[in-house]
Amino acid sequence: MAPFKKPEWHQNERNSDEFTTSVVSGVHAEPSMPQSKKGRFQKRNPSIPDIEQLEQDLLKGERSALARSITLIESNAEHHFRPAQVLLHKLLSHSGKSIRIGITGVPGAGKSTFIETFGTYLCDDLGLNVAVLAVDPSSKVSGGSILGDKTRMEQLSRNPRAFIRPSPSSGKLGGVHRKTRETMLLCEAAGFDVILVETVGVGQSEVIVRDMVDFFMLLALTGAGDELQGMKKGIMELADTVIVNKADGANKQMALRTKAEYDKILHFLQPATKGWGSRAFTCSAMYNEGIADIWQVIEKFTEVTQQSGVFEERRRLQTKEWIYSMIMDQLQFSFFQQPEIKVMLPKIENDVIAGDRTVTSAVEELFSLYSKQ
Amino acid sequence: MAPFKKPEWHQNERNSDEFTTSVVSGVHAEPSMPQSKKGRFQKRNPSIPDIEQLEQDLLKGERSALARSITLIESNAEHHFRPAQVLLHKLLSHSGKSIRIGITGVPGAGKSTFIETFGTYLCDDLGLNVAVLAVDPSSKVSGGSILGDKTRMEQLSRNPRAFIRPSPSSGKLGGVHRKTRETMLLCEAAGFDVILVETVGVGQSEVIVRDMVDFFMLLALTGAGDELQGMKKGIMELADTVIVNKADGANKQMALRTKAEYDKILHFLQPATKGWGSRAFTCSAMYNEGIADIWQVIEKFTEVTQQSGVFEERRRLQTKEWIYSMIMDQLQFSFFQQPEIKVMLPKIENDVIAGDRTVTSAVEELFSLYSKQ
């Protein structure tokens, strides 16, 4: 049973308190503006950024242009919405060329260390440009529980080929969803070859990330059965691979046993991706062991799914699903945020639960309130 | 990724072609009407049934009153909607006292034989009244692929304590959903102690049935691994028990091995019901072996979950979820059935997939069409 969703879409994000914060940190005033006017006042009421310039700089791969563009996309300010869409539209034809990888795992599985080691390997050994994004629906303005600061991935954050971006600050799921997808497109236009999307397991966040990436990996701890039981329902069935991390030292034998257990379960489950048999692997992010093998698995995956057409078909479906989910978010929002319905829904719900009225008549009454508006 | 849903709610069911069929088969004209007027014409344009009389007869447990009431609920005729809701409202306080059991399984697992044997055991050995309903979203006016006729469960259908009702005839999921839930309430008011809701594994039907029952069982074939791999994603995680049927003769040893495999998998999965460890069992519906044990499992389940409060809490959440899903169906319907959106959606979708426009701007345009109405 899905809980009652508190829906949201971009409409309700604009004109929020976050306005000043996000602007000061990223979107600059137009370059054409006289220097003398760029005082404190100007920063608090910024004009629209120069989209043409931003586009050119971003396509050259300039990190600062990318950062400013993301801030523009993430902005909740009403007057940033249109220019952000114009910018995205201009960049669309340059997007889509990366491999998008989702990473999830229980707390303690070593996600940060893994991304640090894996990302550094991709940058330094393979010469790839790597962007790290995060989906954390619980995140507040401060950045939330993951990627709030870059100290977690100190080495990677200093790598000139890497770009790390904390989770967008809107606390509501729909908004985070849209912003992360659009940020991914910006990173691709800026020339990033690999996009890593990290998520904590809050609410539906794994499903949301699965729906925006090509390859989805689950980072696991050793311990097999006990840990598996604590795992969220259906999470294993989203995974294109399970990586048992911390396979080092005294832990190594146990990690191998855990890997075998995961392989057995994966064998019983339907594959997350058509034509791809999901398997488990071990690695030690701490000691940089097994990292190159994981990249080979991803390369093999890309090869197989691109040949079969599954890769492109998934991206096509993901785009459709994105349209559909934005429509549903917006419909939900317009219904459940209507003042009369907000007042009446709990009362009517209680009447139904108490057995005083039928569900069908309850819904009919709610819609008569909705239609009145 | 969920596919684009073609939504539906009761509005679009009324005044359909099914009108005549459903009326002729069940809802009678008011008793007060002169006999002379009850010709062919009258059957095609029936008046509203006598709700008071129907209520009294149904509460006495009269099968014909129950059948007529269900037909009224299932009717797609506009003028049947209000009286159906009045009847349901009157009966609400008499509903909710049964144990609601969902049954699913792959074709060939022996669902009909199992329900025949299990139902007969409940009626004859335990003296319980048993109603058998079906959710088959693929069913047409003729009755669809399950429970289309009663010959499948010949013995049970003749049992005076049993009542078998084919799947409602609306081919669309939302309608079937509502009708089955409301039929369940009618059966409870008519004094049925056990409601068995059978489903074929079409689309989301297992999830829908899981959301309307207290206990959900998965009927499985012997064969373990191979069969498991053909199983739908997440289906095992809905099950409060897995029953390996056809554990007889030469098949018995294999059935026991299969049961052990299922137990191992269930052990790894999160329980479908809080505080209940789902386990696998074998039975032979054909030779009436292990049937009583299954009922004991269900009784134990009821005892445990009623004591912990999980039973009532689930029913409360199910009612909430029912309200919510009807609202979402209705919102979807009003949006996706709007003529301008029907025309523009595929075009806009293609533009987005081709990379010619952003998802956000696409959704914005669709909503500007929607709001115009």
Nearest to B212 by CA among A359, A6, A365: A359
Percent of chain A clearing pLDDT 90 (strictly above): 52
Residue ranges of the alpha helices (H) in chain B?
Answer: 19-25, 40-44, 51-59, 63-74, 78-91, 111-120, 154-158, 173-189, 205-210, 225-230, 252-268, 291-308, 310-336, 339-353, 359-372
Distance CA A155, CA B327 (A): 50
pLDDT at A126: 97
Gap between the Cα atoms of B88 and B133, Å rounded? 18
Question: Is residue A49 classed as helix, strand or coil in its secondary structure?
Answer: coil
Distance of alpha carbon B40 from alpha carbon A37, whole angstroms: 86
Percent of chain A residues past pLDDT 70, beyond the cut: 77
Q: How far is Cα B327 from Cα B312, in angstroms, rounded to an integer? A: 23
Lowest mean pLDDT among A12-16, A259-263, B159-163, B211-215: A12-16
Q: What pLDDT is recorded for position B16?
A: 35
The pLDDT of residue A230 is 57
Q: How far does the CA of residue B118 sit from the closest CA of chain A (Å)?
A: 27
Q: From CA A326, how far away is CA A324, in angstroms rounded?
A: 5
Q: What angle is formed at CA B102 by the lines to CA B97 and CA B104, rounded to 5 degrees?
A: 170
Whether B353 sits inside 8 A of A319 (CB atoms) is: yes
The pLDDT assigned to A31 comes to 36
Chain A residues close to B233, C-beta within 8 Å: 234, 237, 269-270
Instruction: Write b or e for each residue in B135-147: b if 16 or more Cβ atoms lie within 10 A of its Cβ, otherwise e.
Output: bbbebeeebbebb
Contact A13, A57 (CB under 8 A): no
In chain B, ranges of CATH 3.40.50.300 domains: 11-319
Residue A279 near residue A241, CB atoms below 8 Å: yes
B296-300: which pairs have CB atoms within 8 A and are 24 or more residues apart?
A: B297/B241, B298/B99, B298/B101, B298/B215
pLDDT tens by residue, chain B, 373 residues: 333 333 333 344 333 333 222 223 333 333 333 344 444 443 444 567 899 999 999 999 999 999 999 999 988 887 888 899 999 999 999 999 999 999 998 777 888 899 999 999 999 999 999 999 988 766 544 444 444 445 678 899 999 999 999 877 654 445 777 889 999 999 999 999 999 999 877 667 888 899 999 999 999 888 755 556 556 667 888 999 999 999 999 899 999 998 998 898 888 777 899 999 999 999 999 999 999 999 999 999 999 999 999 999 999 999 999 899 889 888 988 899 899 999 999 999 999 999 889 998 899 899 999 876 5
Q: Which of A329, A359, A368 to mutate to test the interface with B (most CBs of B within 10 A)?
A: A359
Q: Give the length of chain A.
A: 373
Give the best residue of B81, B326, B345, B359 to mutate against chain A (max A CB count within 10 A): B359
Other Cβ atoms within 10 Å of A3 Cβ, number: 11
What pLDDT does B48 receive? 75
Q: How far apart are CA B16 and CA B170, in angstroms?
A: 10
Cα–Cα distance, B221 to A198 (Å, whole number)? 39
Q: What is the pLDDT of residue A161?
A: 96
Region(s) of chain A under CATH 3.40.50.300: 11-311
Residues 6+ apart with CB under 8 A from A310: A273, A274, A275, A276, A304
Give just the sign of the alpha carbon dihedral B332, B335, B337, B342: negative
Spatial CA neighbour of A167 closest among A151, A145, A189, A182: A145
Predicted confidence (pLDDT) at residue A41 exceeds the cutoff of 60: no
- What's the rounded Cα separation, in Å, for the pair B100 and B206? 14
- pLDDT at residue A19 is higher than 90: no
More confident residue, A73 or B28: A73
Q: What is the mean pLDDT of chain A?
A: 81
Q: Please indicate whether residue A226 or residue A368 has the higher confidence score (pLDDT).
A: A368
Strands A99-105 and B279-282, sheet pairing: unpaired
Q: Nearest-CA neighbor of B99 among B171, B196, B16?
A: B196
Which 164-203 residues of chain A touch chain B by CB within 8 A?
178, 181-182
Six-digit token pair at A59?
């396509």
pLDDT at A151 (0 to 100) = 63
Mean pLDDT (whole number) for A280-292? 95
What distance lies between CA A55 and its chain's CA centroid?
23
B109 contacts: CB under 8 Å, gap ≥ 6:
B219, B220, B221, B245
Q: How far is CA A211 from CA A194, A232, B270, in A?
A: 17, 17, 23
Enclosing H/E stretch for A186: helix A173-189
At residue A250, what are phi and psi to the nearest 5 degrees? -65, -20
To the nearest whole Å, the CA of A288 is away from the closest chain B CA by 30
Residue corresponding to tokens 């309850």: A362
Give the model's pLDDT for residue B301.
Answer: 98
CATH code assigned to B320-372: 1.10.287
Q: Return the amino acid letter for B265.
A: I
Interchain CB distance below 8 Å, A331 and B330: no
Give Cβ neighbours of residue B73 (< 8 Å, ≥ 6 apart). Answer: B84, B87, B88, B179, B182, B183, B186
CA–CA dist B9, B172 (Å, integer): 9
Q: Can you tell me the mean pLDDT for A51-63?
A: 96
Distance CA A81, CA B31 (A): 65
- In DSSP terms, A281 is beta-bridged to A243
Measured between CA atoms, the residue of chain A closest to residue B348 is: A323
Report the SS3 class of residue B128.
coil
Does residue A171 register a pLDDT over 60? no
Question: Does the interface ipTM go beyond 0.90?
Answer: no
Identify the helix (H) or strand (E) that includes residue B135. strand B130-135
* Angstrom distance (rounded) from CA B188 to CA B129: 10
Q: What pLDDT was estimated at residue B164?
A: 93
Q: What is the pLDDT of residue B333?
A: 84
- pLDDT, one tens digit per residue, over A310-325 is 999 999 999 999 899 8
Separation in Å, CA of A3 to nearest CA in chain B: 7
Q: What is the mean pLDDT of residues A60-84?
A: 90
Burial class (CB in 10 A: 0-12, 13-18, 19+), B60: exposed
Q: Which of A85, A229, A231 is the closest to B360 by Cβ? A: A85
What is the model's pLDDT at position B163?
A: 95
Average confidence (pLDDT) over A166-190 = 79
Least CB–CB distance from B358: residue in A88, A211, A335:
A88
- CATH 1.10.287 intervals, chain B: 320-372
Residues in chain B within 8 Å Cβ distance of A97? none
Section A154-158 average pLDDT: 90
* CATH number assigned to the domain covering A11-311: 3.40.50.300
Superfamily assignment of B11-319 in CATH?
A: P-loop containing nucleotide triphosphate hydrolases (3.40.50.300)
Q: Name the band, by pLDDT with cuts 50, 70 and 90, for residue A270.
A: confident
Indicate the SS3 state at residue A139. coil
Binding-face residues of B in 65-104 toward A, CB within 8 A: 85, 88-89, 92-93, 95-96
Tokens of A164: 């790390």
pLDDT top residue among A248 and B270: A248
Reading the block at residue B193, the tokens are 């102690």
- Mean pLDDT check: name the lowest of A248-252, A304-308, A332-336, B223-227: B223-227
Token pair listed for A39: 């005082």
